[in-house]
Structure formats: C-alpha cells, structure tokens
Amino acid sequence: MIRWTTPRGGFDTAFKFVFFMLVIHAVSMTTEYLLVGKIGLPPLTRFALSFLTAAPFVALTLFAVHRSYVLHLRLAALASTDMLTGLKNRRAFVSLTEDHFRSGNQGYVMIADADHFKDINDTYGHAVGDLCLQAVADRLRGVINPDDIVARIGGEEFGIYVRCDPAAIRALGIAVCSPICVTHDPAQLPVCLTLSIGAATTIPGETLERAMRRADEALYQAKLGGRGALVTWAGPPKLPQDAPVQSRTSFSPVVG
C-alpha cells in the first residue's frame, strides 16, 4: 500500500493528489446524502468545500508517505550493505544469490579470500588492513558485471556470483587475482596482496549452501597450491569427496 501511494515524480504526485481529492469528495457527498437525504450545496460549492477542507491533509499525507518510503529504502540499504567496503553484506549476498538459484540461472558461486591478511594487520595495523579491504572491493567492483553479485561475507572473505561460461573464468581469474597494491604511506613501499578464489559451478536443484561448500573446498585447494589463484570445482555434488581442481589460474606471490 505504501509503495503504491508513494509519489514518484511531479506527474505521479499530481495524479495521486487529484485522485485522493476526488475520492474524498465522493465519500463526502455520499455520506451527506445518506445522512440527510440530499446534497444541500451546489456541486461546485460542494467540491470547493471538500477541496479546501481536505487538500492540506492530503498533501501532508502524501509528503509523509514519501518520506517514510525514502527512509525505508535507506534503512534497507544500510541493512544489506557492508559499511567498510560499500559492498553487499552476507545476508544480502545469500538472499540475492538464492533468487538466482530459484530462477534456475546457471553460473558460478565464488569465495575469495585475501592472502596473508593477518600478516598485513599485524605488520601495518588495522587501518592499513581496512585500506586493503577497500582496495579489494574496488577491484571486484571493477571486474564484476553490474548484473552479477559481489559481497563481503566475512572478515577478509568475499562472495561472488557470476553468470558466465567456463571459457570466461580464466580471464576473470587473471583480472581478480592479479596483485593489488595499496599506498598507505608515501615514505614506504606499497602493501601488495593477492586473492585466492574457489569457484563452483551451479547445479540445477542444488542449494546455495552446498555450492558455497564446494567453492570453499576449491578455495582450500587454491591456498594449498600457493595462493594468488582461482581454482574451479565442477564435479557432481553426489561424489563423496569434493576433490576438484578442474582448472587453475595462478600467479607468483607478491611481497609488499
């Protein structure tokens, strides 16, 4: 109801104002006729009376509904956004990705993890660590299509859902896993880090939880293989072991 009554633009506001004024006028005339058996005033005078009486309240109500709707959108955005990176948070990632699963869209679920991130925090402090996470978010935003989903789902973990064919995964791995360097102090060398990524193809009828579990297994393989890599897993979920490594895109480790 609030969505329908919320004014959206000048024409929509004028239309809804006139509509509600006509409804109020009609209700007023009907009530008067039912109570006294007639309409005592001429039609134009009756309409002018209804307009002068109700117009301020209709305008105030439309304004209040509009402000309530805007506030609702802002609160919804805050509830689904990671404040540090500006990406979606885990709750939003799960909700949006599950919508794709229910629609039967084929793609990849990925889990990306910043390599040696604890060492960065311990060496340079959490402020520099935050700068690194923001740089990772910028990298992901820059390489992921607007229709795909990227979110921060943990401390240094990011969830990604993309709709692309296997041939595009290697190019995506090169774009995402190449070193990210962050300048935190002009007098010092930049801090450079890489991402390890586990990817799992979506399977019809499979749950997001299961796909993320397979992506996490692929991420583990990426870490074991030297980090700074994208490892994909595309085997059937009925296998007893998610032993994977379907393809690998690797890079040399970078020391900041």
What are the angstrom distances between the C-alpha of 168 and each of 161, 171, 225, 256? 14, 5, 21, 29
The per-residue b/e assignment along 93-102, b for 16 or more CB within 10 angstroms, e otherwise, is: bbebbeebbe
Q: Is 197 helix (H, G, I), strand (E, B) or coil?
A: strand
What is the residue whose two structure tokens read 């006729």? 33
Q: Single out the catalytic residue among 32, 98, 156, 206.
A: 156
Residues 6+ apart with CB under 8 A from 194: 114, 115, 177, 178, 179, 180, 227, 228, 251, 253, 254
Catalytic, 32? Answer no
Cβ atoms of residues 151 and 88 within 8 Å: yes
Q: Where are the beta strands (DSSP E) in the chain?
A: 108-114, 149-152, 157-162, 180-182, 191-193, 195-201, 229-233, 247-250
CA-to-CA distance for 27 and 254, rounded, in angstroms?
A: 74
Give the catalytic positions in this structure.
156
